[in-house]
Amino acid sequence: MLDFKKGDGLIPVVIQDNQTLEVLMLGYMNEEAWEKTQADGKVTFFSRSKNRLWTKGEESGNFLTMVSSAVDCDNDTLLIKVIPAGPTCHTGSRSCFNTAYNQNFLLQLERIVQQRYVESSEESYVHRLRERGINKIAQKVGEEAVETVIAALAETEHDFINETSDLLFHLIVLLREKGLNLEVIAKKLEGRHQ
């Protein structure tokens, strides 16, 4: 149960993108804001500057739809995973924290590939790869791996970055084709690290 008494009726709330796991913002809730968030499914804060409840997106339309929540070990901080309906920050940025890039874009890319598998379209490169079968997908991973090595040894940094990007993309497609995902690979690497 959340302890609103510690912070004079307010608790800090960390907002995290459900797909990318990127931290999008920090806000504050009182008990009424938390109850409204649970009832509506849209994240509502208590605005300290406006001295009232404030549903994120009420003016911009960039609502934060709650997917899940977790309370910290002291029961005085909340983590809410959301699906953002646009930029989270009032500046138009994806996050209120000035990150140069989405640190978890590979997870987002994996979900995009998954979506291309589900919602197949003739214009989709993933669809065209899939139509050619696992042998062609695996061959593309091999080609991109060789091109990455060549770029690392004999080409510019720009070429190396491009080839590495191609390799990672095709590897994600191959993982999907095999019914696997990055989580399985991460767990294997984490297990080796221990």
3-class secondary-structure state, position 27: strand
Q: What is the pLDDT of residue 21?
A: 84
Residue 159's pLDDT is what?
A: 96
Matching residue, tokens 């991460």 = 186
pLDDT number for residue 22: 85
Reported pTM: 0.64
Show contacts of 72-77: CB within 8 Å, 24+ apart: 74/3, 74/6, 75/1, 75/2, 75/3, 76/2, 76/3, 76/6, 76/7, 76/11, 76/12, 77/11, 77/12, 77/13, 77/14
Q: What's the rounded Cα separation, in Å, for the pair 179 and 130?
A: 13
> Which amino acid appears at position 40 of this protein?
D
For tokens 């309370």, the residue is: 71
Provide the token pair at 19: 């797909």
SS3 152: helix
DSSP per residue, 3-19 = --TTTTT-EEEEEEETT
Which pLDDT belongs to residue 102?
Answer: 67
Sole residue written with tokens 């009032």: 90
Instruction: Determine phi and psi for 63, rounding to 5 degrees.
Output: -70, 160
Q: How many CA atoms lie within 13 A of 1 on its CB side?
A: 1
Q: Write down all domains in the chain, each with its CATH number in brackets.
A: 4-84 (3.10.20.810), 105-191 (1.10.287.1080)
Enumerate the β-bridge partners of residue 53. Answer: 46
Q: Where are the beta strands (DSSP E) in the chain?
A: 11-17, 23-29, 44-47, 52-55, 64-71, 78-84
pLDDT at 99: 65
**Pick from 16, 98, 105: which is nearest to 64 by CA?**
16
Residue with tokens 């294997």: 188
**Over the chain (194 residues), what is each successive 10-residue block's mean pLDDT?**
89 92 93 96 94 93 96 95 92 79 78 88 90 95 97 96 96 96 89 83
